[in-house]
Amino acid sequence: MRNETPKEERLLQELVKKSPRVLEVESRLDRDGRIGINIGSLEGQFLKCLVAQGNVEKVVEIGTQYGCSTTYIAEAIGPKGHIYALEKDETCIREATESFSQLTGCEINLLRGEAKASLKSIESEGPFDLVFIDANKSGYLDYYLWAKEFLRPGGYLVADNVFLFGTMFENQCPEGTPPKMWKKMKTFLGTLFADSDFHSSLLPTKEGLSFSVKKEES
Ligand SMILES: C[S@@+](CC[C@H](N)C(=O)[O-])C[C@H]1O[C@@H](n2cnc3c(N)ncnc32)[C@H](O)[C@@H]1O
């Protein structure tokens, strides 16, 4: 949760105006007391740059909420763009449907229910160009293993909140953090960064954004 806007994000807010669509989604998140769970402009602009630099048409977004991150991606993707947006919460599904009704210019499929089942259902649509992980933290390891199989060579894997609210800086699970979740995030990061099929880095945003490129087949 982004309680306090980091200074880097404040600078970006001065420099980059959020689009009317993003602002509209954020106003509904604010109304419902859910603002800050969505990505901020740092992550949003990063996704936009990644998508706009080319060769990104098929995107899988795991954890859509009201569709703020989907909106950033949709605003940068070309007319052949196809976003598979995965969400299980009924309120979020309703609100994301509202957000998507305003988005034109690319195809968006909202896949309802548990992400693992939704991922299984789209395997035949792959390979994908970008997988963005922003859902339940204990699922990141499984989502990455899925992406490893279904991303195209040269495709991107981006995951938000990988600092797990600052707890990844510790060598032991801090009190108050579910140990299973903490261990799974440590394992996810350790496995991803040791994976010779990917080039990986971390963008030190407040929440931590991992960024990986699946290596081209040799
Ligand atoms: C951090 S929010 C996503 C924010 C969104 N990416 C954005 O920036 O606009 C995480 C979302 O993942 C959804 N979620 C959590 N676990 C899930 C699961 N196992 N399957 C599908 N959706 C899940 C939650 O309901 C929540 O809406």
Residue 55, exposed/middle/buried by CB under 10 A (0-12, 13-18, 19+)? Answer: exposed
Judged against a pLDDT cut of 90, whether residue 170 lies above it is answered with yes
Q: Which atom of ligand 1 is nearest to the CA of 70?
A: 9
Ligand 1 and 86: CB distance under 6 A: yes
Q: Which atom of ligand 1 is nearest to the CA of 87?
A: 22
Ligand 1 and 118: CB distance under 6 A: no
Give pLDDT, residue 8.
77
Ligand 1 center to 190 CA (angstroms): 23
Ligand 1 and 189: CB distance under 6 A: no
Residue 4: pLDDT band (50, 70, 90) is low
Give pLDDT, residue 7.
82
Closest CA to ligand 1's atom 16: 136
Return the SS3 of 87: strand
Instruction: Tell me the pLDDT tens digit for each residue of 122-160.
Output: 999 999 999 999 999 999 999 999 999 999 999 999 999
DSSP 161-178: -TTTTTGGGSSSPPTTS-
Residue 90, exposed/middle/buried by CB under 10 A (0-12, 13-18, 19+)? Answer: exposed
Ligand 1 and 139: CB distance under 6 A: yes
Instruction: Tell me the pLDDT tens digit for each residue of 76-103.
Output: 998 999 999 999 999 999 999 999 998 9
Of residues 167 and 6, the one with the higher pLDDT is: 167
- Contacts from 14-18 at CB under 8 Å and sequence distance 24+? 16/41, 16/45, 18/44
- And the tokens for 192? 């991803």
Sequence-distant (6+) residues with CB within 8 A of 178 are 138
Residue 5: pLDDT band (50, 70, 90) is confident
Judged against a pLDDT cut of 60, whether residue 3 lies above it is answered with no
